[in-house]
């Protein structure tokens, strides 16, 4: 069953702690993305990666970090430097970074208190 | 930078009424995509429009891409309860896909 998996679905952390969100895809897609979604707002791009061992900052990269050591995996770390980390985080992939449709994972809802 | 705005932000309609959401870009787009996100779910790709003035239909859904390739619309005829969710447009331009703010559709049975 091909697709994108994100885990966990819900995540709770104390303020000041770093937390890593996982994203795995078995679609053999080259490009992967991380988005943040807040109530009443659209999807804002955090980071994206076009190929293994390469990634670029999106519109709101401050306070986040990523790695792309394997084609199928693109974990996102929310660091303590992110001032307002509570949000719904969505991972997506596409065959390339051109005008391809994006396939989204189920998302991780992170709550930091 | 490229900005994509959608209106309205919310829309409540009686079941059976029509619904339209509009998408406007600050820059000319190469193409535009539309996604649907059910409550509690994740965005799912609906369609992509590429040509100026293009119109595509999917059953009760009609998608249009403006002549100037800066705006688009999604029209749903005779809404059903299964249409509830948030509809996003996403414009591709300057090698970047930018999502609109979304229109949240609720259906009154």
Question: Tens of pLDDT along A77-100?
Answer: 999 989 999 999 999 999 987 778
- Residue A1: pLDDT band (50, 70, 90) is low
User: Which residues in chain A are closer than 8 Å to B29, comparing Cβ atoms?
Assistant: none
What's phi and psi for B82, nearest 5 deg?
Answer: -70, -10
Burial of residue B69 (CB within 10 Å: 0-12, 13-18, 19+) is buried
Encoded tokens for A81: 């430097």
A2: which 2 tokens?
């091909």
Contact criterion met (CB < 8 Å) for A106 and B99: no
Pairing, β B96-99 against β B71-76: unpaired
Residue A67: pLDDT band (50, 70, 90) is: very high
Tokens 């820059």 found at: B27
pLDDT, residue A100, reads: 87
Q: Which tens digit of pLDDT belongs to each residue from A7-61?
A: 999 999 999 999 999 999 999 999 999 999 998 778 999 999 999 999 999 999 9
Mean pLDDT of chain A: 93
Q: Are A32 and A11 in contact (CB under 8 A)?
A: no
Quote the longest CA-to-CA distance of chain B. Answer: 42
DSSP code, position B82:
G
- The number of C-beta contacts closer than 8 angstroms across A and B is 45
Give CA torsion, residues A5, A89, A43, A15, to 10 deg: -170
Q: Which of A6, A36, A43 to probe by mutation at the B interface, max B CB count within 10 Å?
A: A43
Report pLDDT for A97.
76
Contact criterion met (CB < 8 Å) for A99 and B50: yes
Q: What is the pLDDT of residue A29?
A: 95
CA distance B50 to B59: 20
Residue A2 is predicted with a pLDDT of 63
* Lookup: tokens for B21: 């959401």
């Amino acid at each position: 069953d091909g697709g994108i998996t994100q885990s966990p679905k819900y995540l709770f952390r104390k303020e000041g702690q770093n937390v890593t969100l996982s994203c795995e895809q078995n679609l053999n897609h080259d490009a992967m993305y991380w988005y943040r979604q807040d109530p009443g707002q659209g999807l804002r791009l955090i980071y994206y990666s076009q190929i293994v061992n390469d990634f670029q900052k999106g519109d709101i990269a401050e306070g986040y970090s990523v790695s792309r050591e394997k084609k199928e995996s693109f974990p996102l770390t929310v660091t303590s430097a992110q001032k307002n980390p509570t949000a719904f985080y969505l991972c997506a992939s596409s065959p390339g970074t051109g005008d391809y449709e994006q396939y989204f994972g189920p998302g991780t809802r992170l709550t930091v208190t | 930078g490229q900005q994509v705005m959608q209106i309205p932000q919310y829309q409540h309609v009686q079941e059976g009424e029509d619904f339209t959401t509009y998408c406007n870009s600050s820059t000319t787009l190469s193409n535009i995509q539309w996604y649907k996100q059910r409550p509690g779910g994740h965005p799912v790709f609906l369609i992509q429009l590429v040509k100026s003035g293009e119109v595509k239909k999917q059953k009760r859904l009609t998608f249009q891409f403006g002549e100037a390739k800066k705006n688009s619309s999604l029209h749903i005829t005779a809404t059903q309860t299964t249409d509830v969710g948030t509809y996003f447009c996403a414009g591709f331009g300057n090698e970047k896909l930018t999502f609109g703010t979304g229109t949240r559709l609720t259906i009154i049975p």
